[in-house]
Amino acid sequence: MPFKYLLENVLIKTPVNILTMSAAPRFTSLPGTKVSAVRSLLLTSTGIITLDPIIGGGIPIGSIVLLEEDEGSTYSKLMMKCFLSVGLSCGHPLFIASQKQAPQSLAKELMPSLEETNMPEHKLVPKDSQDELKIAWRYQNSPKFDSTKSSPSSFSQLFDLSQIVSEETLGKASIKYFPESVDKDQFTYDELFSVIQTLILERHHVDHPKLKTVLKIGLLGLGSDLWQGDLVQFMYKLSNLIKSSYACVLITLSTSCLEPSTVSRCQHLADIALRLDTLSPGDRDHYLNEYHGLFYITKQTSMNSLGVHIPDSNDWGFKLKRRRFIIEKLHLPPELQDSKQREQDDSLPRISCGGSGSSKAAALDF
Amino acid sequence: MSDIAKALNLSWECLQQTCVTVEEQEHMDASFMILSLVNLFLKETGDNKESTSHVIMVLFQNNFQHLNNIGMKLFMSLKSLVQSKKLTLLEMFSEESSVEDKFKSIHSSVSSIQAKDKLIIFSNLNQLTYMGTPETDVFDIILYVKNTLSEHTCVLHCTHNKQDSVMENLNNAVKHLSSYVIQVSNLKTGFCKEISGHINVSNKYKSYKKTHHFLFTSRGVNVFLPGGISTR
């Protein structure tokens, strides 16, 4: 394939209005975004530095991420706060909708990035690592390199979960809330959609010539009984609207109130579908004791590409530390001699040739 | 692009049937299969200069940009087809009209196009149910398609979902009406670097059924028989 053809046709394509068939202005240097040349997508961060590479680099602009809530919705709310916080620190306009909790109070819980708080990095480093080196002592005074360090307007940022953003920062930010005031008990999906539609058509549609920001929409606790109307229809209309806009959506879904077929339809309409499953203390014995729950990737986006991004593993776990929320590959801890796992293994009959080697009576020796 | 149809033994005979169903499994994207059928149609009808050909794409989802990007990766530009008046797009997702109005709109658009050979693609038929359309009305539109557009070739694209009984009934109805059924599914066990999924092609009248594997590569899609390996 000639290189010129690649440059003209395969590289970055921003959303296109079908009716006019005209390409939207190309914003390749939007703050808080990066370009995926392979998939011809503009990506934005989830706010969790360990999650971005798992889903193929970040959330594509013009896509919907569906997050099935965990029991108690503690961690899903935390992921929502990370998603909104990274938008806030990059100067993106936000739209927050929630009925479980007032959206204004959710905005007050957002976190500032570590660079904004100017927190000394050594406070985040575990105490053990600050001790004097006993083996490689010659590297004691060499400068430390932190690969996770980021600038305020860069793509991925670290957040300190123990801190909240200042009211001054919130006042400067462009944030819209739904509902703006609690004047009635329940709101419908149609009302929510009309507010989002107005906002996008006014400022964030691909046809809008001057806009150079990405709208981040956070919808908390959809599917719960607090909302009225047809959820699937809302998702359908939203997915068609978002695909022609400079916006991305994170929806947390209360699956306990929904039928499996409705959840399945919502997953089909979303571009990325994720699920959190918390582990009760009873489940956390043996090898899962260091994780707070399991993380599942139900659907990866195939937007603008033939196939989906294949992650390194299918087994992921998450854990909440005092200041960080981490999603990582599920792995077994090192097997120590006095561990329960080893004792369990020893009790099993072993198969061996010749019958030598094992001191225990091997029932299956031959 | 023509390699896909060739590897699957899909010939002009396939597109001379009234209905061809392309069924994708949940979380699988069969856009490449639809585009390879478009390519096959244009290739077969393009040689004959006397008879003009035209493709009509009925979209129930806002995914033209996605289809165009997939086409680019398979060396086919949908935008240039639109500009050369070989392809017409009918958007059905933005209208809040009844099923009858939708079909009338499709029928009048198809009738107004003056071409001997027409390929009509109904992309994401299942999305009709997401709009809030009753199940019976969706069946009606499929019957309308079968009865009134039978002189042209129709490709019905739908998604298989085990958990959704409405969608499964709809799929069964669509497959019942079609002579050719092409099922594109992903691996049941997860992800693999050697195989992206498999394609089942079946012809109802010839009791022909064959399974192929495929692999997505940076250069396109490589189709091969089970037990074989991807050569690219």
Each of the 232 residues of chain B gets a pLDDT tens digit; together they read 667 888 888 887 777 777 899 999 888 899 999 999 999 898 888 755 555 889 999 999 888 989 998 998 888 899 999 998 899 999 888 666 777 888 888 889 998 988 888 899 999 888 888 888 888 888 888 888 888 887 888 999 999 888 888 888 889 989 888 888 999 998 887 778 889 999 999 988 777 788 999 998 877 899 999 887 766 5
Q: Is the residue at B49 inside a domain?
A: yes
Residue B95 within any structural domain of the chain:
yes
Q: What is the mean pLDDT of residues A12-34?
A: 52
A261 contacts B73? CB cut-off 8 A: no
Distance from CA of B62 to the nearest CA of A (A): 5
- Domain region containing A102: 36-117+151-339
Residue B12 lies in a domain: yes
> A129-166 pLDDT, tens per residue?
455 667 777 766 665 544 444 444 567 778 888 889 98
CA–CA gap between residue A307 and residue B27 (Å, rounded): 10
Check CB contact of B73 with chain A, cutoff 8 Å: yes
Is A19 inside a domain boundary? Answer: no
For residue A108, name the pLDDT band (cuts at 50, 70, 90).
Answer: very high
- Tell if the CB–CB gap between B62 and A240 is shorter than 8 Å: yes
Does residue B218 fall inside a structural domain? no
Percent of chain A at pLDDT > 90 equals: 40
Instruction: Give the separation between CA A273 and CA A239, rounded to whole angstroms.
Output: 13
User: In degrees to the nearest 10, what's the CA dihedral of A347, A348, A353, A355?
Assistant: 30
Q: What angle do CA B26, A51, A279 make, to 5 degrees?
A: 80
DSSP for A3-55, written as a single string: HHHIIIIIS----EETTTTEEPP--S--TTEEEETTTTEEEE--S-TTTTTTT
Q: Is residue A262 part of a domain?
A: yes
The pLDDT confidence band at residue A32, using thresholds 50, 70 and 90, is confident
Cβ–Cβ gap A306/B82 under 8 Å? no
Residue A53 lies inside a defined structural domain of this protein: yes
Decide if B54 is inside a domain.
Answer: yes
To the nearest whole number, what is the mean pLDDT of chain A? Answer: 78
pTM of the model: 0.82
Instruction: Please count the structural domains in chain B.
Output: 1
Domain presence at residue B186 = no
Shortest distance between the Cα of B206 and any Cα of chain A, in A, equals 31
Cβ-based contacts of A265 with chain B (< 8 Å)? 130, 161, 164
**CATH code, domain with B29:** 3.40.50.300
Instruction: Give chain A positions within 8 Å (CB) of B69.
Output: 13, 40, 304-305
If you search the block for the tokens 């070989």, which residue do you land on?
Answer: B86
**H-helix segments, A90-166:** 103-108, 114-117
* Beta carbons of B61 and A21 less than 8 Å apart: no
Tell me the CATH number at A313: 3.40.50.300
**Residue B199: inside a domain, yes or no?**
no
Is there a domain that residue B53 lies in?
yes
Residue numbers in B near A310 (CB within 8 A): 191, 193
A216 min Cα distance to partner chain B (Å)? 20
pLDDT of residue A356: 47
A245 CB burial (10 A radius; 0-12, 13-18, 19+): buried
Query: Could you give the ipTM of this predicted complex?
Result: 0.90
State the nearest Cα–Cα gap between A36 and chain B, in angstroms.
14
B114 CB burial (10 A radius; 0-12, 13-18, 19+): exposed
- Rounded-to-10 torsion of CA A236, A241, A246, A252: -30
B36 close contact with A: CB closer than 8 A: no
CB distance from B61 to chain A under 8 Å?
yes
Nearest to B23 by CA among B220, B223, B179, B185: B185
| Domains identified in chain A, total number | 1
Determine the residue among A61, A246, A306, A310 to mutate to test chain B binding: the one whose Cβ has the most chain B Cβ atoms within 10 Å: A306
Q: Is residue A355 part of a domain?
A: no
Q: Which residue segment(s) compose the domain that B135 sits in?
A: 2-177
